[in-house]
Amino acid sequence: MNLFTRPMKLLTAVVLEQTTEAVIKALLQLGVMDFVHINRLDPQQMEKLSTKPSSVSRMALEDTRHRVEALLRQGHIHLPSSEFLKVDDLQKPDLETYKNVLDALNIQLLTLKDKQKQCNQRLIGFEEMKRYIAEDKGEYLDLRLGEFTHGTQEDLSSKIGSFGGILDEIKDVGKFISLTLRRDVSQVDPLLEKFGWEESSDAGLQRQALTIVTHRLEDECRKALLERSEVEGEVDAVIAEKKSKLIEIWGNLRLNELCDQIRSYFAYTRNTTLFSGWVPSDQAQAVSKAIFDASDGQCVIEWTEATEVNREEVPVAISMPKALEPFQRMVNNYATPEYGTVNPTLFVMVAYLIMFGLMFADVGQGFILLLVGLFVKFNYKKNPMKPDGLLSRNIATLLLYLGGSAITFGLLFGSYFGMNIFPALWFNFDAVVSGHAEGDVFKNVYDILGLTVKFGIVVIYTGLGINWVNLTRKKAWLKLILDKNGITGGLLFGIGLYMAFGFVKTGYHTFPTDPWITPVLLVCLIAMFFRGFLAYYLSVKEGGKTHDAGKVIFDSVMEWILDTLEIFTGYLSNTLSFMRVAGLGIAHASLMEAFKELSNMAGGVWGIAIFVLGNVLVIVLEGLSSGIQSLRLNYYEFFSRYFTGKGVAYEPVGLKSNFSL
Amino acid sequence: MDPVSQYGFINAKLRAKLGLMKESHVIDELLKTNSLVEAVAVLRDTKYSEVASVFDSTGDLQQMEVVFLHGEIAMYHEVARYLDGKPSDFVHLLLGKIEVDNLKNAIRLWYSSLIRHRPMRYRSEYLYKQKIVWPIDWPALVNATTWDNVVKALSSSPYHDVVKKYTQESIEELGLFSLESELDLQYYAQIMEGLKSLSSDDRQVAQRIFLVDLDLKNLLIMVRFGWFYHLKADQLYPLLLPWGKVYKSKEVQTFIATQPEARDPFVIIDRFYPGLGEKVHHVVEQKRGSVKSDELTVLQNLAMESYLHERRKDVFHSILGSDPFTIGLPLSYFFLVKEENSMIKAILNGKYYGYTEEYIRGVFA
């Protein structure tokens, strides 16, 4: 794990053209290079270079791969993962052969699907009749009992079948039952007449006929359903039979797509190939060796340090333990950190979990969150190819952390499903909220509000601290000293806090009047006033654009006014914003108290039901709002102090690169 | 209830859904596929995954279309649930179109079975048999052995007034065309009546949509039946839907009064849709000689329908960009969803019959 983004190096290499393919394979295997187009480095040099069109279009490769994926999915076979790709298996793609394989398989499947359709149509026809019998709608049915004098049973059965009906023989009696729909009577009548149908007058048999034919219908439905499912199984079997071939094709197509992607960054002279890309510094040696080996030593490799390139062009790679992924995602969802700055994931994790714990402090409910997280994770582990649902893999991991946080704070505040079973390790939150706190450090809700405001101050100062580290690393001295989020801003925020706490200390009567306050305030504000002018001066000195004096004055003064306003109002609102943590914590305790009261009033089974339902409701609603509010505080109050979001994500081309589905 | 309270929530909800529809490339991806099996794979990870499941278990394209129908009905019910009062009633009224189409399909099946003696078999199972708007005894209708039984099955619905005017003999003799036209007319009459109950803003927007719809339908009726099938004035006139500017125009009266063989629909087309005449002429010029004359007329009709469809689409898109707190947004949403569903169904059918991407794209164009 690295507190900062990973250091990067820019590689520029020249290899002999005949070794290009080997180099591509080696780089693909390593999968650490984020390629850049050569023309981005030196557009003038590009004029002397050429590009080569691919022998096979990447679009064609991708389309064919999609065809393979469609067939695999039809066969309920999970798509192969990148683990399956082996660079050594790479071959020139024979798209024509692949097409023939896929077409032939498609024809086979469509034939089976047609058969399945016919089974389905037979099934729904029988089900219609079965339904009419079950709903006692005999008026829609034409049930006959008798015998025929001409033709064969098979012939008559097939003809009745063409109306969706059935002909059933009653064994040992030599009689037949014909069941069709009455709507077809005008055609069934002449048909039976043609076969010399004679109705039976046996009343006993007529009574049995409906039962017999119902059983037969049930049999037919079962058979049709089974046949339909068997065809589905056959479809799966046909694809399963071709599975290895399909996966082999898929793998080769994917490898060729990746190679083509790498190749698209290459530029060529008559005999050499030139390419460039970003690599994490710790991988530089491995990349050099791979290129050297693949090109038999016939290569020229140059490394450029990230410090020599515009910071905003350097891709940002971050190394974080996998366990912290939910928090890394929170950061990535916001934006990519700037190259060389602090990776805020660890800070986000700490701040997020404390905020959540303060809002959702309960051992029992935290335990439920933990169990849900474990259950969902276990479920995904059991079905690794299962797509993410509402409770995704990431949320499941996050629930484990949130559960842990709720349990920790629950222990500190002594809350177990809203009850105080064991004494609180710190103070009894519920008692404070309900006004029964005795002898604790925290006596009323104002004390809780004060606690969260102080926590907010720590978060804001942590943000400022990270910003100062980032600015120092960027050598942005002016900003470090005079920016609203710089040392001056921090100092002004500190003065504000000193005055506010002093005001509270006097029982909200007077502000502190220490003699140093006004001079320090004035010095800070005056210093900030000159920031715009100094920034302009330094920019011009470094070759930046010059502007009219009026514009410079106007811009600088406006910037100063806005920064000053932002310091006085922004810091105040950011700090007070943390009171929402107390608010939600109080709401959580109050809701649990209300459900406890209701449960006691109802008593017995109803009391238990209310208690359980109350807990479920609180876990879902409060859990969700606490999670969202913690995220919001991190994004707005914490990130706004230091996060520029100007980074470019590091996206190396490798076997694990994402592919379009 | 003020418009913001009435439409605020549904506006946000439908716009989010429309946004997702806009981002989706499902139509393009479906077109690119090489077979029905591959096309279904495209639907697997989309909101149409149920369609794919039905294909897996039945292999039956018509059964898949039933899923779309159920989805459309659920869509109207969902939107109606989020609205109150008259707008909600009006959305329910719109379901009448699905009911009329379902009814027409049921009667066609009945007609084919009882009059043309082609067994209905399993086909009735593809019909929607639950209540849509009015209580209709669907099983009784498809199992009717006489026209009187069909009429009886519709006795609790307003369609009864229409169907009871016909007899088995008249249906046998004249077919279903006139009956179906009357059912359509009745639906539009209900809609026009329903419009009166809406607030003035809602009425204005809805009228804008339905009057364009009516104009386009009247235009097509005149071209198809007045020009192509040469119906006489007394047969043609009752087919027209008596609303909209096309119906009321002098040109239409002149067109109907003209001898069927001498009618020129382009006078009306150029009067109301100047670009359309040119498009139809272009089709004629392109295909003349390569197809038979009746095929040419079909192509002209198709060109016209596609042009008119585009105009409707323009109206809906412009409504999407106007006042968000009217019934215009739900109406546009219905149109766009139904359009997407129709396209998906058409592509799936095209893939089933083995048509190429280019051919299907050509038909859509």
pTM of the model: 0.79
Residue A385 has pLDDT above 70, yes or no: no
Q: Which structure tokens are listed for A247?
A: 């996966």
CA–CA separation, A235 and A239 (whole Å): 6
Chain B residues whose beta carbon lies within 8 Å of the beta carbon of residue A102: 34
Q: What pLDDT is attached to residue A646?
A: 87
Q: Is A415 exposed, middle or buried (0-12, 13-18, 19+ CB in 10 A)?
A: buried
Cβ contacts from A onto B, under 8 A: 107
| Residue of A127, A164, A231 with shortest CB distance to B59 | A231
Chain A residues whose beta carbon lies within 8 Å of the beta carbon of residue B122: 121-122, 124-125, 128, 164
Partner-chain contact B121 A164, CB within 8 Å: yes
pLDDT exceeding 90 applies to what percent of chain A?
73
| Residue of B44, B45, B120 with shortest CB distance to A183 | B120
Side chain identity, residue B332:
S
Tell me the C-alpha to C-alpha distance, in Å, between residue A659 and each of A33, A66, A81.
Answer: 17, 11, 10
Residue B274 to chain A, least CA–CA distance (Å): 41
Partner-chain contact A387 B45, CB within 8 Å: yes
Q: Is A96 exposed, middle or buried (0-12, 13-18, 19+ CB in 10 A)?
A: exposed
Strands A141-147 and A34-36: unpaired
Question: Where residue A49 falls among pLDDT bands split at 50, 70, 90?
Answer: low
**pLDDT tens digits for range A70-95:** 999 999 888 888 888 888 888 999 99
**pLDDT tens digits for range A585-595:** 999 999 999 99
User: What's the full length of chain B, in residues?
Assistant: 365
Which residues of chain B are at the A interface, by a Cβ-Cβ cutoff of 8 Å? Answer: 32-38, 40-42, 44-45, 55-61, 63, 110, 113-114, 117, 119-122, 124-125, 139, 142-145
Q: What pLDDT is attached to residue B164?
A: 96
> Cβ distance A564 to A525 under 8 Å?
yes
DSSP state of A313: G
Q: What pLDDT is attached to residue A40?
A: 65
Question: Greater confidence, A34 or B293?
Answer: A34
Chain A residues whose beta carbon lies within 8 Å of the beta carbon of residue B144: 183
CA–CA separation, A600 and A611 (whole Å): 9
Q: Is A343 helix (H, G, I), strand (E, B) or coil?
A: coil
Residue in A closest to B39 by C-alpha: A70
Q: What pLDDT is attached to residue A268?
A: 87
Partner-chain contact A117 B61, CB within 8 Å: yes
CA–CA separation, A397 and A512 (whole Å): 48
Residue in B closest to A187 by C-alpha: B117
Partner-chain contact B119 A187, CB within 8 Å: yes
Q: How would you label B323-342 residue by residue, b for 16+ Cβ within 10 Å and e otherwise?
A: ebbbbbbbbbbbbbbebbbe
Chain A residues whose beta carbon lies within 8 Å of the beta carbon of residue B114: 183, 186
Question: Where residue A440 falls among pLDDT bands split at 50, 70, 90?
Answer: low
Q: Is A643 exposed, middle or buried (0-12, 13-18, 19+ CB in 10 A)?
A: buried
CA–CA separation, B358 and B351 (whole Å): 12
**pLDDT tens digits for range B151-178:** 999 999 999 999 999 999 999 998 999 9
Q: What pLDDT is attached to residue A47?
A: 65
Task: Tokens 């037949």: give the residue.
Answer: A176
CA–CA separation, B209 and A85 (whole Å): 55
Chain A residues whose beta carbon lies within 8 Å of the beta carbon of residue B353: none
Residue A361's closest CA among A420, A283, A416?
A416
**Nearest-5° angle of CA A124, CA A125, CA A129?**
110
> What average pLDDT score do residues A586-615 get?
92
Close Cβ partners of A219 (under 8 Å, ≥ 6 residues apart): none
What is the 3-class SS of A576-609, one letter each residue?
A: HHCHHHHHHHHHHHHHHHHHHHHHHHHCHHHHHH
Chain B residues whose beta carbon lies within 8 Å of the beta carbon of residue A66: 32, 38
CA–CA separation, B148 and B154 (whole Å): 10
Close Cβ partners of B212 (under 8 Å, ≥ 6 residues apart): B244, B311, B312, B315
**Nearest-5° angle of CA A50, CA A52, CA A56?**
170
Question: Where residue A319 falls among pLDDT bands split at 50, 70, 90?
Answer: confident
Question: Greater confidence, A284 or A44?
Answer: A284
Q: Which of B29, B32, B38, B352 to mutate to test the interface with A (most CBs of A within 10 A)?
A: B38
Least confident of A5-9, B36-40, B320-324: B320-324
CA–CA separation, A467 and A479 (whole Å): 10
Sign, Cα dihedral of A618, A623, A625, A630: positive
DSSP state of A264: T
Question: Where residue A217 falls among pLDDT bands split at 50, 70, 90?
Answer: very high
pLDDT exceeding 70 applies to what percent of chain B?
98
Q: How would you label A123-162 residue by residue, b for 16+ Cβ within 10 Å and e otherwise?
A: bbbbbbbbebbeeeeeebbbbbbbbbeeeeeeebbebbee
Partner-chain contact A124 B122, CB within 8 Å: yes
Q: Which of A120, A131, A140 to mutate to test the interface with B (most CBs of B within 10 A)?
A: A120
Chain B residues whose beta carbon lies within 8 Å of the beta carbon of residue A162: 119
Partner-chain contact A185 B145, CB within 8 Å: yes
Question: Where residue B293 falls among pLDDT bands split at 50, 70, 90?
Answer: low
